[in-house]
Structure 1
Amino acid sequence: MKNKVLATLLLSLLVVPLAQSADRAPRLVVGITVDQLRTDYLEALQNLFGEKGFKRLMKEGVVCENLVFDYPNVDKASATATLYTGTMPFFHGIPSERFFNTTFQREELILNDPSKIGNYTQETFSPERLKTSTISDEVKIVSGGLGRVYSVAPDAQQSILSAGHAGNCAFWINDRNGKWATTTYYRDVPAYIEQFNYVRSLSVRIDTLAWTPVYTPDLYTAIPYLTNDFSFKRTFSHDNRDRFVQFKTTALVNQEITDVAVEFLDKGLLGRRGVLDMLNVGYTAGVYLNKTVQEYGLELQDAYVRLDRDIARLLDEIDKTVGFDHTVVFLASTGYFKGEAKESPIYNIPSGEFYPKRAVALLNVYLMALYGQGDWVIGYQNRQIFLNRKLIKERDLDADEMRNKAASFLIQMAGVQDVYTSQRLLLSHGTDRLASMRNGYCPKLSGDLVLDLCPGWEVVYEDNNDTREYVRINAIPAPCFILAPDVKPVRIATPVRATAIAPTVSRLLRIRSPNGSSESPLSEIQY
């Protein structure tokens, strides 16, 4: 009898903690990526923020001040893929937003997939080029397919990469009609999202919207450049065919994103169905019209103020519908900023102009002198040069020898700091810079030669839009926040690799990391 009583007591002591542990298991994970968000701007604008947005994340969560993407030419697509896969472009296959299609000899969006048509768009996208699993995929897998995974962002590729291969659906704002669009790769289009397109479509409201500052201009003093001391009003006329594209560079787009995110939480019952669900939200903190902070510093500061309010509204909705006892939230910057202008010549900063079309033409002339007539160079994209591999094979030439000769020629050009051949990137081990360049190299998509251009120079594309790219390799202070049950607030000032976010979130969710993630979870997190 005593033994039975003792056994019952031991069993009860064991079962109660297990039941409590199961009850505390996360039911919802919310992943937020904010394009071009900067730590220094957040800190400088704190006095204009409310208590429920960024300040709440800073007080209650894990704060990483300096998120590092250890590869060159980071952009929105490559950063989103890195955050969600926990690995570098070398493995996940998304080195940039665009790639050079060697078959058709043209640039294309990295997720372009003509086999998939769009809903409310003529764009054709899928996540097929993403080569590893994501946090979103692992959430779907751990629930046996029952968990719901949705994504919403201004940009198609940002939304699709965060939804992953197994997500229910990814939505974005179409550049031409303002509708919430998706791709037929995903099969779950909730009726309440379709309702947005019928009842609350941006296409019928956009000319009634106007972006004006929340505060008077004299309060926007955080950015140390000379800015206008007068207010602004940005409108979107029906006569402007690019009105939706321009709208997506304003602070108002984040409000549209939040509206849909709240709808998912409310009508989608995320986190309230007994299985782990995931909501991915993409925001923007870039400069208006993709110009420079020197031109639109006032607008950028107002965008941060409005973003703080949108994040507060999203966090409030999570609190109301699911509760933070059962929710893990991570918010991460994409780790780059393209809003810097070239310095005026009066400051005598060393600079110059690099013309890709001219470089390609000169290189082709040089290779013809060595190997005979032919189109030896077929393209340039994202500081990479593509040789005609088909022609090299037809002529039975040594491709590595040609690459080495081409690199020796290119490095003599003004503005070229270094040239990396594909062989050097794939087979060599050396400096940290070489390792970083290799991290951003994708063997299946990247070029034969990768150029490292001098800081301070401009890449001049000689196109109809007079496109110019200012070369800066200085680090951008990029933040990341993690809010999770039973995790103590901590501030991490040392650099944190972006590839550590996915395994850290996975550990908090009690699921396995994405299959390409070899990084350990953050050791600074205390439970």
Structure 2
Amino acid sequence: MRIYFFRLNVLLLTLFLGVSISLEAQVNNREREASAGINTFGDPPRLVVGIVVDQMRYDYLTRFWDHYGKKGFKRLIGDGFLSKNHHFGYAPTSTGPGHASVYTGTTPSGHGVIGNNWYDKYTDSGVYCVGDTSQSSVGTTTNAGQHSPHRLMTTTITDQLRLHYQMRSKVISVAIKDRGAVLPGGHTANAAYWFEGGTSGHWISSSYYMDALPVWIQEYNASKAADRYKEVWKLSHKPDSYVESGPDNVPYEGVFSGETSPVFPHDLPALWEANGGYDLLKATPFGNSLTLDFALEALEKEALGADEITDFLAISFSSTDYVGHMYGVNSKEVQDTYIRLDEDLERLLKELDRSVGEGAYTVFLTADHGVSPVPAYLSDARIPAGYLYKDKMRERLEEFMSFTYGTTDLLKGFSNNQLFLDHDLMRNLELDPEYVSAQFAEELMKYDGIYKVYTSGQLHNGSFTEGIEAALKNGYNQKRSGDLILLPPPAHIDYSKTGTTHGSPYIYDTHVPLIFYGKGVVPGSTVRKTYIRDIAPTLAVMLGIAFPNGSTGTPIPEVLE
């Protein structure tokens, strides 16, 4: 027995000494690395390229997969990391909130961008998410440049990058849509540029960023670079190969002015004048191509990724949204737009390899929201779907208010499926706002097209952690949101009967791709549920910088080395 305990003690002592020596070796190794100037956190990428594809559903990856080449989406996914179960986790799912959420790491409840437009209950007026009349247009004589991020209440990952490097990092943001450029750039971007259509076809900006366009942009605009896309839009593959989409001529799709049916080819030169000139390009895949052309010009002229201090290029491809709204999920136009986007992604990656260096940059790709299938198409397929008729709803509400309260003035505003009540009037009438809200909710539940109604008190005080209620709570901002939030049934939208839209907390609007690729990324995939608010924290860990100051997301550990 004594021999047994002796051997046991020797074994334990050996293990203890082994662990101690190992720990000491690790500590000494870290000290040697530190004294030698070795960064134990790893070197950050020289350039981060953030890509937001406007209105991209997740199933556009899988549905069109066989049509993609090997060096666009397939390269990003094959050599990168794919989140297959990635969602927004809030509503409204629209462009302004989407871009803000991607870059701030939080939801509208935190960053305050509660829609593209919304009713401002303090000024009794409608506001635009990036509209700013205190700024002047740069590069145009119109008011198309009067924009800034002043309504964004938190910092972005691009802000934190600039702060980390004492403003030595360069941040450039590019999109056809002004909000798709302004919000990703954050408050401190060196520049944000967007496309002015009409007779201009120029890239413009705001006095928030600069007093005048850089010379290289003036020369680029003068070259009429967008003119190369004034061509006939034909299917890029054989028409009979587009079996993943419906017939070309169906009643569910919109048409350009001057067309009699929504069919290929679309003769852009013939349609030019009747459809706003250069604005016509926005609703074609050529809008994405001209966006990339300009982004690559910025990459070169601004020398992005040219040194060891990380720069950031934010690109939003907006034309996918214009095409989707006009033609709908099941259209050949949408399919062809994504096939051509895949070619543009290949072009982008090839140029990044050349100018920055393969393995020296990081890319992420996601969307700002998904989209609903066209309800008229679903209805014809015997799937429950329909449309909202808000004018009739408002008429009925006015009758209710007149009968119940003796006035129709209690309703001050209606935006993004939210009702705003007049609190001053309620005080004058000695009405309890919570009781009035409950009465409105009870009345609204009687209406066709209303599935659920929530009061602001329910969302503010409720402990919702999952499901529709949690999504609505994450989209509710106490300072800016309304008194009642209306939820239509699934596949019911406030839109025309051709084309489609988005904005709901339903899965067709929330499920989007998330791909990480390049330096610092572990190749792989996950079906674990991730959220749009997780992107910025993941980047912050990868870059070794502070999280955006309102961030509520969680880094995705599977992505990181």
TM-score w.r.t. the length of structure 2 is 0.84
- Whether the 8 Å contact between 1:153 and 1:257 is mirrored in structure 2 is yes
The correspondence of residues 252-271 of structure 1 with structure 2, limited to 5 A, is: 252-271=286-305
Residue equivalent to 1:297: 331
Letter of the structure 1 residue corresponding to residue 222 of structure 2: Y
CA distance in 1, matches of 2:507, 2:44: 41
Is the aligned partner of 1:501 residue 2:554? no
How far 1:428 moved relative to its partner? 1.9
Residue equivalent to 1:54: 73
Any idea what the Cα deviations from partners look like across 1:274-324, whole Å, max 9, x if unmatched? 422111001143362722336x72221111111111111111111111113
- Whether the 8 Å contact between 1:265 and 1:317 is mirrored in structure 2 is no
Residue equivalent to 2:23: none
- Whether the 8 Å contact between 1:453 and 1:471 is mirrored in structure 2 is no
Letter of the structure 2 residue corresponding to residue 500 of structure 1: D
Residue equivalent to 1:76: 95
Is the aligned partner of 1:94 residue 2:113? yes
Q: 1:235 aligns with which of 251, 258, 268?
A: 268
Change in CA separation of 1:106 and 1:340 when aligned onto 2, cut-off 3 Å: farther
Is the aligned partner of 1:26 residue 2:61? no
Q: Secondary structure at the match of 2:89?
A: coil
Residue equivalent to 1:521: 555
Is the aligned partner of 1:288 residue 2:309? no
CA distance in 1, matches of 2:282, 2:421: 36
Residue equivalent to 2:203: 180
Letter of the structure 2 residue corresponding to residue 309 of structure 1: E
How far 1:254 moved relative to its partner? 1.0
Residue equivalent to 2:236: 214
Change in CA separation of 1:15 and 1:447 when aligned onto 2, cut-off 3 Å: closer
Residue equivalent to 2:175: 153
Residue equivalent to 1:4: none
CA distance in 2, matches of 1:493, 1:289: 26
CA distance in 1, matches of 2:32, 2:503: 63
Residue equivalent to 1:409: 443
- Whether the 8 Å contact between 1:35 and 1:334 is mirrored in structure 2 is yes
How far 1:178 moved relative to its partner? 2.3
- Whether the 8 Å contact between 1:457 and 1:471 is mirrored in structure 2 is no
Residue equivalent to 1:127: 149
Any idea what the Cα deviations from partners look like across 1:36-75, whole Å, max 9, x if unmatched? 2233222232332222211110111111122200113301
The correspondence of residues 371-520 of structure 1 with structure 2, limited to 5 A, is: 371-430=405-464, 432-459=467-494, 473-475=506-508, 477-520=511-554
- Whether the 8 Å contact between 2:112 and 2:151 is mirrored in structure 1 is yes
How far 1:129 moved relative to its partner? 0.9
Q: Secondary structure at the match of 1:30?
A: strand
The correspondence of residues 100-111 of structure 1 with structure 2, limited to 5 A, is: 100-102=119-121, 107-111=126-130
Any idea what the Cα deviations from partners look like across 1:392-448, whole Å, max 9, x if unmatched? 234343222211111111111122111111111111224632221111112222221
- Shifted more, 433-442 versus 106-115: the winner is 106-115
Structure 1 unaligned spans of 5+ = 1-8
Residue equivalent to 2:224: 200
CA distance in 1, matches of 2:326, 2:180: 20
Give RMSD over aligned pairs. 2.9
Letter of the structure 2 residue corresponding to residue 442 of structure 1: N
CA distance in 2, matches of 1:414, 1:148: 51
Letter of the structure 2 residue corresponding to residue 326 of structure 1: A
CA distance in 2, matches of 1:372, 1:10: 79
How far 1:467 moved relative to its partner? 10
Q: Secondary structure at the match of 1:288?
A: helix
Residue equivalent to 1:191: 215
- Whether the 8 Å contact between 1:84 and 1:162 is mirrored in structure 2 is yes
Letter of the structure 2 residue corresponding to residue 387 of structure 1: L
- Whether the 8 Å contact between 2:92 and 2:503 is mirrored in structure 1 is no
Residue equivalent to 2:14: none
How far 1:242 moved relative to its partner? 2.4
- Shifted more, 338-347 versus 432-441: the winner is 338-347
Structure 2 unaligned spans of 5+ = 1-27, 251-262
CA distance in 1, matches of 2:294, 2:321: 21
How far 1:106 moved relative to its partner? 5.0
CA distance in 2, matches of 1:249, 1:312: 21
- Shifted more, 272-281 versus 351-360: the winner is 351-360
- Shifted more, 83-92 versus 441-450: the winner is 441-450
Change in CA separation of 1:39 and 1:18 when aligned onto 2, cut-off 3 Å: farther
- Shifted more, 277-286 versus 135-144: the winner is 277-286
CA distance in 1, matches of 2:531, 2:189: 25
CA distance in 1, matches of 2:84, 2:391: 39
CA distance in 2, matches of 1:510, 1:344: 47
CA distance in 2, matches of 1:486, 1:449: 44
Change in CA separation of 1:417 and 1:485 when aligned onto 2, cut-off 3 Å: same
- Shifted more, 124-133 versus 10-19: the winner is 10-19
Residue equivalent to 1:272: 306
CA distance in 1, matches of 2:500, 2:370: 17
CA distance in 2, matches of 1:329, 1:311: 11
How many pairs are equivalent? 512
How far 1:520 moved relative to its partner? 2.3
Residue equivalent to 1:6: none
Matched residues, percent identical?
A: 29
CA distance in 2, matches of 1:433, 1:73: 12
- Shifted more, 101-110 versus 414-423: the winner is 101-110
How far 1:150 moved relative to its partner? 0.5
Letter of the structure 2 residue corresponding to residue 454 of structure 1: P
Q: 1:249 aligns with which of 267, 274, 283?
A: 283
Is the aligned partner of 1:116 residue 2:149? no
Letter of the structure 2 residue corresponding to residue 226 of structure 1: P
Residue equivalent to 1:43: 62
